[in-house]
Amino acid sequence: MSRGCDARDDPRGDAGGDVRGDVRGDVRSDVHVDVRSEPCGDVGGEVRGDVRGDVRGDVHVGVRSELCGDVCGDVNGDVPGDVRGDVHVGVRSELCGDVRGDVHGDAPPSRCSALARYVGRIREFDRIDWVVYLAWVGMMLGLVVATGGFLVVGWRAGVRWPPEAWMVPAGAAVFTVAIAIDTIGHRTIYKEVLRGGEQLVHHITIACGVASCVLLVLAYEHPGLAVPALVLTAMSLLYSLVDEVFHWRRYTSEHADPVEMWSHVGIFLGHGTMMLGWWLFYRQGYPGVRETVAALSTLGAP
């Protein structure tokens, strides 16, 4: 697109040069690449606006001269990647004067940089945030160490665990890494949003999940506790799905970070693997547990 203006179009200003606007990828909003010269102003040079990737916001690349002034040079606005929000790259001359030179607006939100930016928000934690974060992540890390350590002790004592048994610490480890990332956003940029009801859903989900694990352990000697353990497992899954509704609504309204959404993939993968493996292990009669308990009792013996 190229637009020229001479004395016959507008005796007060000239607009010359090239304007190139390329849009590639998935664009779900408005992309404007323009040059406007209104009163007493010259616009010369080149304006290039390239948009590549997934854009869910407004991208404006332009040069505007509103009052007596000249705008000369190049304006390059490149947005390669995943953009949610507003990106404005432009030169605007509002008062009498000249704006000359190059203006470059680049927004390269690669996945690595997006993850680093998301995790980097941990520097915004206050004392309460650290207490909540360490208690939650530490509890799940303790589950990884406890279940994994128990299996290692049994294995060293000669127990050959079924594959389902190893899924418990493996799934718990994936879940722990995922919540370690996800909770950073919950304690920073989404702290106020969660108070609208989502925080209560989190509390119910965690309470049901923790209780189901405790009851599954106790069901080894008290099989009747498997019934409430199963109910609580189902409830934790149900409320996890309710929580996903909140997250996807926030994501589609351009107020959620893709990193948070990917962390939820890890949460579902880890929690599902852990609990399904645990239940299958229980259904098999917890083979190897008795031998491992006996091996543990001899560890402290002289």
Q: Kindly provide the b/e burial profile for residues 277-302, where b requires at least 16 CB atoms within 10 angstroms of the residue's own CB.
A: bbbebbeeebebbeebeebeeeeeee
Q: What is the pTM of this model?
A: 0.61
**113 or 238, which is more confident?**
238
The pLDDT confidence band at residue 92, using thresholds 50, 70 and 90, is: very low
Rounded to the nearest integer, the mean pLDDT of the chain is 73
**17 or 293, which is more confident?**
293
* 126-157 pLDDT tens trace: 999 999 999 999 999 999 999 999 999 999 99
pLDDT of residue 87: 46
pLDDT of residue 76: 47
Cβ proximity of 229 and 246 under 8 Å: no
Cβ proximity of 4 and 32 under 8 Å: no
Which ranges of 68-188 would DSSP assign to H, the alpha helix?
111-120, 127-156, 163-186
* 156-177 pLDDT tens trace: 999 999 999 999 999 999 999 9
What are 103's strand-pairing partners? 75
* Total length of the chain: 302
145 φ, ψ (degrees, to nearest 5): -65, -40
Residue with tokens 């929000």: 85
* 231-268 pLDDT tens trace: 999 999 999 999 888 878 777 776 667 888 898 999 99
Name the DSSP class of 209: H
Domain ranges within the chain, ordered by starting residue: 13-109, 114-299
Cβ proximity of 97 and 125 under 8 Å: no
